[in-house]
Chains A and B, each alone.
Chain A
Amino acid sequence: MTDELELLKKDWQNKEFNVPKLSYEDIHKMIWKKSSSIVKWILIISILEFSVPHLLYLFPSMREGMEVYEKIGVSQYLFGLSVFIYTVALYFIFQFYKRFKEISVLDNSKNLMRKIIKTRKTVKHYVIFSLSMIMVTIIIMIIGVYLNDNIALAFPEFKEGLANVSQEKLKITIMLAIGIFGVVLTLFMGGVYFLLYGLLLRKLKKNYTELRQLEI
């Protein structure tokens, strides 16, 4: 085998590959093309993850939705929660930026892969945090509904229809609806996220595992 590999080496080194040689102009054009590397994709997806949920508040319908919180009587708790969420989000953005900056194609392969995975982990933790905060919001709302003595007032548009429904029944229905909505939303967002990253990083993870196993 060694002989065969040596033979291959000899052939390989003398090889002029049968591919068209690129001209100066060809290469010059290439250097201004956009990269499609996974690092670029991680950056794009992460910026979306950090910004999209906050951009949603710019829509008027979303702001009207916020009024529900007031009617249920939980807005002051949710305000406190938002302050906490933004503080933590800023911390995550800072961490992400720091780690992202460390990624260099000039590193050795193992370090490069490790740093990419570390950067992605920051985003992963952020997403887990965000999803738990959605759940906390949902729980606060459910508690708000539970403690509210006249929940029908929160939905004036349904006043007539709700007049002959008992308060207890109404509360349970609303609490269930909020709960189910929250769980579905969280699972959906989490599912999309992990699927996206799973596909994006499958190859990298496989190669990283292989390099790491060498060290054992």
Chain B
Amino acid sequence: MNKELEHKFVTELQDNQNIVHKVCTLYTNDRDSHNDLFQEITIQLWKAYPKFRGDAKFSTWMYRVALNTAITLYRKNKKRIDTADYESVIFKIKADEYDETEELQLKLMYKAVKQLGDVDKALVFLYLEDKNYTEISDTLGISEVNARVKMNRIKNKLRTILNP
């Protein structure tokens, strides 16, 4: 039974690992921390897995655990080191898909998002993942109205970062 659960979990996580990678990319600044956070999220997901009943999609369930781990449980302080190398590798913009202005804009946007606080990042992350405000407010434990207000503030904040 346990082996079966293990197998099911690992397979599902392997298929959905991109979600965890995205969270790690947002919240860490170098490869080591990325792997470290990935591991902690995996441990938390596995510990909580017996309570996952399959009434929601595995991926939906993952968002909550992954974000909770990143903004609450994960202990290590983010190192403020030169992250240019790491970021340029991670956020490689596919040049053929965008014209030059868009490419530049995207690069600036990613940089701006990385400068946001933990909670703001969580909102942006869920927004980028196309979650609606009900889901966002459910995940973070704030009201829907407040989630909208907060998101508007973040948009303003991003605008200030981009056009100082």
Contact = CB atoms under 8 A, between A and B. Distances in A.
B52 to A, nearest CB: 8
A214 B92 CA distance: 34
Contacts of B76: 36
Contact of B90 (A12, A19, A105): A19
B72 A13 contact: no
A105 B74 CA distance: 12
Nearest to B25: A17
A108 B75 contact: no
A4 to B, nearest CB: 6
A105 B47 contact: yes
Nearest to A19: B21
Interface in B2-44: 6, 9-11, 13-14, 17-18, 21-22, 24-25, 34, 38-40, 42-44
B26 to A, nearest CB: 10
A106 B43 CA distance: 13
B143 A215 contact: yes
B159 to A, nearest CB: 5
Contacts of B34: 19
B48 interface: yes
B44 A37 contact: yes
A51 interface: no
A209 to B, nearest CB: 10
B155 A1 contact: yes
B30 to A, nearest CB: 12
B100 interface: no
A113 interface: yes
Given A5-B158, A35-B43, A112-B72, A24 B128 contact: no
A107 interface: yes
Interface string A115-158: 01000000000000000000000000000000000000000000
SS of B interface (majority): helix
Interface in A15-60: 15-19, 21-24, 27-28, 30-31, 33-39, 41
Contacts of B113: 8
Scoring B89, B118, B129, B143 by chain A CB atoms within 10 A of each residue's CB, the highest score goes to B118
Interface of B: 6, 9-11, 13-14, 17-18, 21-22, 24-25, 34, 38-40, 42-44, 46-48, 51, 64-65, 67-69, 71-77, 89-90, 92-93, 98, 102, 105-106, 109-110, 113, 117-119, 122, 127-130, 138-143, 146, 149-150, 155-156, 158-159, 162
15 contacts: A13-B129, A17-B90, A30-B39, A31-B46, A35-B40, A105-B48, A108-B64, A109-B68, A109-B122, A200-B75, A203-B118, A206-B118, A207-B71, A207-B72, A211-B142
